[in-house]
Amino acid sequence: MSLDNRPVYSGGCQCGAVRFRVEGALGDASVCHCRMCQKAFGAFYAPLVSVRGAKLDWTRGEPKRFASSNLVLRGFCPDCGTPLTYEAPDGVALAVGAFDHPEEIAPVVQFGVEAKLPYVDAVHRLPGRDTMEDAEAAGFLKRLVSRQHPDHDTESWPPEGKTGDRA
């Protein structure tokens, strides 16, 4: 919480080049199934939350923007490509998954349901496994070292002498 008891949220992209801080109440979170959102997120749908009534600050870097239509800009990290914003004439929405604590932001409505992929409603019925239960990938996973930015603000990123580039 901020000094005046307004909620404070933070988040950013996967590589840490772009970070944000939101002070104030968030709007309703949603998922959008429209084809534009599917492509912008490379996913079944786009989970978004409005920050229209709150104060949004970019605390490290700033998104690059793509005009996905004549009225909407899509913001993403210019370094790693993480989807970050949906910017329309009525305000900005941020990608729920980009927040440091996305578990605090539950969607309450779905948009673009006419384009919903036919299997989305059944995903929860698929068998679930912990990551390390994948026996074929276990050796690979044990060697894996994440270069993802942690889910909290840092003074600088990446740590000195380390980059996200592949060796």
> What percentage of the chain exceeds 90 in pLDDT?
73
Q: Comparing C-alpha atoms, which of 133, 159, 135, 131 is closest to residue 147?
A: 159
pLDDT digit string, tens, across residues 132-141? 777 677 778 7
Do the strands 83-88 and 73-76 form a parallel or antiparallel pair, or are they unpaired?
A: antiparallel
pLDDT digit string, tens, across residues 53-80? 999 999 999 999 999 999 999 999 999 9
CA distances (Å), origin 74, targets 35, 47, 98, 141: 14, 13, 14, 33
Record: fold of 8-120: 2.170.150
Q: Report how far residue 60's alpha carbon sits from residue 94's, in angstroms, rounded to the nearest whole number.
A: 16
CA angle (82 as vertex; 15, 128 as ends), nearest 5: 95
User: What are the boundaries of each domain within the chain?
Assistant: 8-120
